[in-house]
Chain A
Amino acid sequence: KNQVEQSPQSLIILEGKNCTLQCNYTVSPFSNLRWYKQDTGRGPVSLTIMTFSENTKSNGRYTATLDADTKQSSLHITASQLSDSASYICVVSDRGSTLGRLYFGRGTQLTVWP
């Protein structure tokens, strides 16, 4: 069964600290993995996309890693800011359908305290 599991479910950190969010998936075949940020009451916004051959990709203070062999990804946030408080969702796409089927994790709810 194709699944995407994220951990931790929730995380509280102090402003300025770093954190790492985890994503494990069993989706096969694999096309790409995206990390989305979803602010409360808003729709998700894509942060990074990683394909099979990519190990690391950065977007400002966000750095995503991908280990396609172990089917694991992480999202590292450096020097957190209050505006980083949001849900971070891992989304994996298979290449088995013309629709480009997406599998969503439940997200990690990050809270940054001043």
Chain B
Amino acid sequence: EADIYQTPRYLVIGTGKKITLECSQTMGHDKMYWYQQDPGMELHLIHYSYGVNSTEKGDLSSESTVSRIRTEHFPLTLESARPSHTSQYLCASSEEQGADEQFFGPGTRLTVL
């Protein structure tokens, strides 16, 4: 099993709250990713990072932001959560070379009331 961790696993919060979803990996991977996945739907890339101090927006527009201050840590923040943000958020990482295989964390199931 991949050494990539996400916390919390489940989060239920009220509208307007600020939240941070944590993602950490111990594999020393340079590239990290955040995906959003709704039930029965494909994964959509919302953010990615090539390495420290690198962050890019993915294919799906998202109101969330990310930071990459340390190689192993790639947190995602929502300044003001809304019901439309309710979804599963998956974090992944891959090596610098042969970047195609991504190792996924267990995900955070977010529900905004």
Contacts and interface: CB of A to CB of B under 8 A. Distances in A.
A44 B45 CA distance: 14
A99 B91 CA distance: 16
A11 interface: no
Interface in B1-53: 1-2, 4, 9, 31, 40-43, 45, 48
Contacts of A109: 40
Contacts of B100: 31-32, 34, 49, 93, 100, 102
Nearest to A6: B42
A39 B109 CA distance: 14
A105 B101 contact: no
Contacts of B105: 43
Contacts of A89: 42-43
A107 B42 contact: yes
A97 to B, nearest CB: 10
A42 B104 CA distance: 9
A58 B5 CA distance: 29
Interface residues on B, range: 20 to 34
B104 A45 contact: yes
Contact of B101 (A4, A9, A49): A49
Contacts of B42: 4, 89, 104-107
Contacts of A46: 101
A41 interface: yes
A43 B99 contact: no
B48 A43 contact: no
Nearest to B35: A104
B81 interface: no
Given A41-B106, A42-B107, 6 more contacts: A4-B42, A31-B100, A32-B100, A41-B109, A100-B99, A106-B41
Interface of A: 4, 9, 31-32, 34, 41-46, 49, 89, 93, 99-100, 102, 104-107, 109
14 contacts: A4-B42, A41-B9, A41-B106, A41-B107, A42-B107, A43-B91, A44-B104, A89-B43, A99-B31, A99-B99, A100-B94, A102-B102, A104-B42, A106-B40
